[in-house]
């Protein structure tokens, strides 16, 4: 999709080209932090902020309207709620399986260790989704207001 940047950014060719190279790398690094978080530093919160930063950079370079065409506000609002539902759903699933809230060991009846790994992975996914969507919602609110 060809995105037409705002007038003041059309003259900054280097910035536009560099952002087109770096935005996919930022998003890829966010995915790496997301799925590496249960084994090392990182996790859902950090990945969500990194992922949102990639979209914020897109919005700064190509304009708020272009970003809202790529990620509409309704999708952002839905992702905030979906992330919270994922987080809570894992806890309720643990309760229904006879464990305590967020007792991941009961998620896999064969191996408690696999249940722990699965639970952490799903919880971090919910946190990452919520944080990324919340950061985008804040950016939409701040960037969309007029100067006074």
Residues 20-74: pLDDT tens digits?
999 999 999 999 999 887 677 778 999 999 999 999 999 999 989 999 999 999 9
Q: Which domain holds residue 114?
A: 7-143
Is position 148 within any domain?
no
The confidence band for 3, taking pLDDT boundaries of 50, 70 and 90, is low
Q: Rounded to an integer, what distance in angstroms lies between the CA atom of residue 40 and that of residue 37?
A: 5
The reported pTM is 0.86
Distances (CA, A) of 95 to 80, 101, 113: 23, 5, 18
Whole-number percent of the chain with pLDDT over 90: 62
Say whether pLDDT at 1 is over 60: no
Is position 2 within any domain?
no
Is position 51 within any domain?
yes
Counting the structural domains of the chain, the total is 1
Task: Give the chain's mean pLDDT.
Answer: 89
CA 92 to chain CA centroid, Å, is: 23
Average pLDDT over residues 92-105: 92
> Please, what is the Cα angle at 120 between 119 and 121, to 5 degrees?
90
For 31, the token pair is 């995915």
> Please, what is the Cα angle at 80 between 89 and 49, to 5 degrees?
110
């Amino acid at each position: 999709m060809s995105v037409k940047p705002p007038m003041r950014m059309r003259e900054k060719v280097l910035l536009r080209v560099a952002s087109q190279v770096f935005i996919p790398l930022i998003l890829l690094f966010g995915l790496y932090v997301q799925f590496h978080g249960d084994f090392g530093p990182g996790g859902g919160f950090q990945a969500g902020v990194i992922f949102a930063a990639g979209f914020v950079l897109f919005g700064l370079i190509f304009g708020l309207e272009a970003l809202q065409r790529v990620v509409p506000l309704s999708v952002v609002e839905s992702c905030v709620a979906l992330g919270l539902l994922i987080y809570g759903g894992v806890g309720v699933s643990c309760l229904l399986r006879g464990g305590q809230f967020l007792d991941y060991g009961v998620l896999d009846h064969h191996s408690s260790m696999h249940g722990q790994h699965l639970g952490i992975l799903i919880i971090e996914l919910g946190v990452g989704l919520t944080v990324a969507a919340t950061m985008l919602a804040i950016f939409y609110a701040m960037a969309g207001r007029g100067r006074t």
